[in-house]
Each structure stands twice: as C-alpha cells, then as structure tokens.
Amino acid sequence: MSTGVTISSISDYAILGCGSVGYAVAEELVEQGKDVLIIDRDESRVESLRDQDLDARTADIREPEAADLVADRDVVLILASDVESNKRAVEHIREIDDTQFVVARASDPVSGDELEELGADIVINPSSVIAESALRALESGELEYNAGKLARLLEETQERLAIITQDSPDPDSIASAAALQAIAEHLGIESDIIYLGDVGHQENRAFVNLLGIDLVQWDEIEDYSVYDTVTLVDHATRGEMDLPVDIIIDHHEPEEEVEPEFVDIRPNMSSTSTIMTKYIQEFDMNVSEEVATALLYGIRAETLDFKRDTTPADLTAAAYLYPFANHDTLEQVESPSMSPETLDVLAEAITNRDVQGSHLVSNAGFVRDREALTQAASHLLNLEGVTTTAVFGIADETIFLAGRSKDIRINIGKVLEDAYGEMGETAGHSTQASAEIPLGIFTGIEISDDTRDTLLDLTEEAVKRTLFDAMGVEGSNEGSNGN
C-alpha cells in the first residue's frame, strides 16, 4: 500500500489505546509539532490527557466507532496492551480504508503475524524493542568501559608502544594498526607499527605508500627493550616475538593462549577496522583523512566490498568514515599496476590450471614473489564456472599456496587445514586462505638446477592430489585446462 506521502511530511496522527507506551509516543509526536488525536475507553485517563492540552476522546477501540473517529488521519498507531483489542481495531480500520498507515502493538511473534494478516503495515513488540534497546545500551556501555581501560593501559607506557600487525599485513591489519597509532598519538604516546614478515601484495604496498603509513620490520629493530607496552592488532598470536603482550584487539579468536591485561575480540564483526572505528568515535577524535581512508578500505577489503559476512556495525562504521576518506586514493589502491613477476605467475597459473568441476588448482612453478600467488588465485576465480581456486608455487624450499572461494558450500580455510594442517602452516577463513608446506615433506630432494623439473613434477602431483581429496573431488592425473 502507498500513502502517497513520506512519513516525515505527515502531520495527522491517531493513537488508539493510550497506556504508558501510547502516552510516550503521543508526547514525542506533539513535541515534533504533529497533530495527534488520542482514543481511549478509560474516561478518567482521557480527562487527564485533556488537562495536559492533548486532544483525547473516549471510545472503545474494539468498536467500529473508534475507526470512524480516526478515518481522516494519515497514520494510526494502535498501542493498547490488550492484543485482542488491537486486532479488532485493525479489522475495523481496514473495513473503512485500506490506505491509512497502521502501526499495531503485538505481544509475541504469533500475535504479530496475526496483526499483519489483518492488515497492519508495521507491527511492534515492546518486549523486543526493550531487549534491543538494552543490548544497544550494553554495547555502548561496554565500549565506553573498554575505551577507558585501553586509555589507562596506553597511558602507562613510559617509553614506546609496539603495535604488532599480521606477519604479512593485509589492509585490515594495517588500517587497524594505523588507527591505534592515531589513538596513541591522541593520548600523547609514541608508537611504532611493526610487522614480522613482509608487505608483499602489490595492493598492500600501494595501500601503505599512498597513505604514507610508516611500518617497521621486526628484524630491523635494534633495541626491543624500548617497547614497554605491546599490542597485537588483527593478529592474535605472538609468532617469533619474545615480548609480553599487553593488549589484543581482533575480530578472530587467538590461535594460541595469550592472557594480556586487555582483550577486545569480537567475532561478530567482520573486520578489526570496524572495531577500531568504534574506538575512534568513542575517543571523540578528529579522524585524519589518512586514517579514515585506511579504515574504510580495511572494512571494504575484509567484507569484499560488503558482499561477505557484512554486519550492521560494518555498515555504520563505513558510513561514519565515508565523508572523511579520500576516494581518489581508494581508487588508486584498488587498481595497482601489475608487476612483471605477478604477470609471469598469472600466465603460468593459467597455463597449468587443472579444473575439476568448479574447483581449479594450478602450479605456478618456482616464484620469487609469493604474494603473486594470491593475486593469481583471485584472478582465476573470475573464470567462467570456477568457484574455488588454489595456486601454489615453490620459494625458499617451501611450497606456498593461496586459496580463494566464492562457493558458500566450501570453507577454503578448513579445506587447506584438512589437506596440509599436519604437515605445514595454514591460515584463513571461508573465502580466502593460505598454506606453507616444507618442500621436503613431499620430496626429500635438494633444490638444484638439475632437480628443478623433477621437484616441480613431484610437488604438483602430491599437492594437487591432497588438495582435490580435501575438496571432496577426484583430481585428474593428466590435468585439464578447463576447455
């Protein structure tokens, strides 16, 4: 149904049944300058409402007379505590007019369905509304408490704060670290963003360079003792660090048992950037263009541009950041130039692809830039009929594998864990994952010019067979390019 006007422009309202809920709504509407007519069968209540200069009349909302009294109103709110009375009121109103916008109060999901069937446009359940309001208040209160505790811990820093990202940090990890660094600066604390691996993916390098985010490589630090406060952001494991961890902020559960003084882990949010945006807001900071752009990109990257596991919190955080972000920079980050190495790896992966059903596995051979495997896996996912990809290559006597999936039936992180978890290291989730497997597990042969081809053949056969088995499909020994 359509009223022909927007709710914001409506000025004529009627409230049928004016208990505590009805009275609260009436007060708010009158405060907004709306014309409100109140109908209630309790004469003393109606008299009291009139004493407050409210337009109130006595009638039983269960009778057709009440519907006649409000026939000229654009919106009718039926808010009595007695649901049966509300049902009769909806029935009588719909007998007269099916264009009025009707809001009706239910007591449970069953009565809500019944009211909708009778013609109510919107059904509200006060107990659900109260529960949602209580949860929002709880979340707000917890965030305020956590922000206070975080501030106190950060302010205890005597020398320098270490903000540790993922070993090879992705946009969410980098953006979250940049946000925490901004919070630390807001509190007058010096800090460094530290990573233990390398920033290999071209998109991530462009992200760091364009936004001017300073990252420090762990092995380049001369004196670790300057860091008297250590934070893990979007990276809930200490890895090779031999420093006590004070703070963890992440949207994934930690891989190892760590007991820092402050923990904020929220698996119900899709990105750590979302969590850090909430802290930026709670600290009432002026977010810089660089940090806003980083956080917005972190949320978009982690949710695949809001197409994967997106929550209302991610959307509200993105909406807050959007006006402050540099969208020209975002466009540059999302379209970095492809290096010759990445192009070579992609070409090799296309040539060597083996497609079984909708699953593609490919051997990219010996690689110098292992992050090129990630880009190749992403590009191959665009092939027609392909929903899951895995591209692997050899570097530093290790087999590196990158997996991607858009098949809701497959958790690629679980697939790689099942395939290689006992022989190497795996990480990831339902749509993207990676694995590192010592080459000797499969071959026991030293890498030399004479053994390169043999190694490639042995590795390809073993890796593909194990992976296709974990995917639940029978791999081809001869290989298929998908034609």
Q: Which CATH code for domain 13-125?
A: 3.40.50.720
Same fold, 13-125 and 139-333: no
> Is the Cβ–Cβ distance between 431 and 414 less than 8 Å?
no
DSSP designation for 77: E
The pLDDT assigned to 310 comes to: 84
Relative to beta strand 432-438, strand 101-105 is unpaired
The pLDDT assigned to 84 comes to: 94
The matching CATH number, chosen from 3.90.1640.10, 3.40.50.1100, 3.10.20.30, 3.20.20.150, for 139-333 is 3.90.1640.10
The pLDDT assigned to 444 comes to: 59
Structure tokens at 433: 């994952």
Show the low-confidence residues of the chain (pLDDT under 50): 1-7, 475-479, 483
Paired with 35 in beta bridges are 12
Boundaries of every domain in the chain: 13-125, 139-333, 340-471
Q: Specify whether the backbone of 479 is left (phi greater than 0), alpha (psi in -120 to 50) or beta.
A: left
User: Coil, helix or strand for 132?
Assistant: helix
The pLDDT assigned to 479 comes to: 46
The pLDDT assigned to 7 comes to: 46
- Helices in 381-479 by DSSP H: which ranges? 412-420, 452-471
Structure tokens at 223: 């004196």
- Helices in 324-385 by DSSP H: which ranges? 327-334, 340-351, 371-380
The interaxial angle of helices 289-302 and 312-321, nearest 10 deg, is: 150
CATH 3.20.20.70 fits 340-471, yes or no: no
Q: What is the pLDDT of residues 89-111, one digit of tens each?
A: 999 999 998 889 999 999 888 99
pTM for the model: 0.60
DSSP designation for 326: -
The pLDDT assigned to 60 comes to: 95
Calpha distance 344→230 (Å, rounded): 40
Calpha distance 428→416 (Å, rounded): 9
The pair phi, psi for residue 426, each rounded to 5°, is -130, 155
Q: What is the pLDDT of residues 171-209, one digit of tens each?
A: 899 999 999 999 999 999 999 999 887 776 666 777 888
Calpha distance 322→300 (Å, rounded): 11
**How large is the greatest C-alpha to C-alpha distance in the chain, in angstroms?**
101
The pLDDT assigned to 1 comes to: 39
Structure tokens at 358: 């909708």
User: Coil, helix or strand for 436?
Assistant: strand
Q: What is the pLDDT of residues 254-282, one digit of tens each?
A: 766 677 899 998 888 889 999 999 999 99
Structure tokens at 458: 């042995």
The pLDDT assigned to 476 comes to: 46
Please list, in sequence order, all residues whose beta carbon lies within 8 angstroms of the beta carbon of residue 13, skipping any fewer than 6 positions away: 29, 34, 35, 36, 37, 73, 74, 75, 76, 77
Amino acid at 363: N
Calpha distance 258→232 (Å, rounded): 11
% of the chain surpassing 90 pLDDT = 47
Calpha distance 253→236 (Å, rounded): 7
CB neighbour burial string for 284-320, b if at least 16 within 10 angstroms, e if fewer: ebebbebbbbbbbbbbbbbbeeeeebbbebbeebbeb
> Is the Cβ–Cβ distance between 285 and 241 less than 8 Å?
no
Relative to beta strand 398-405, strand 388-395 is antiparallel
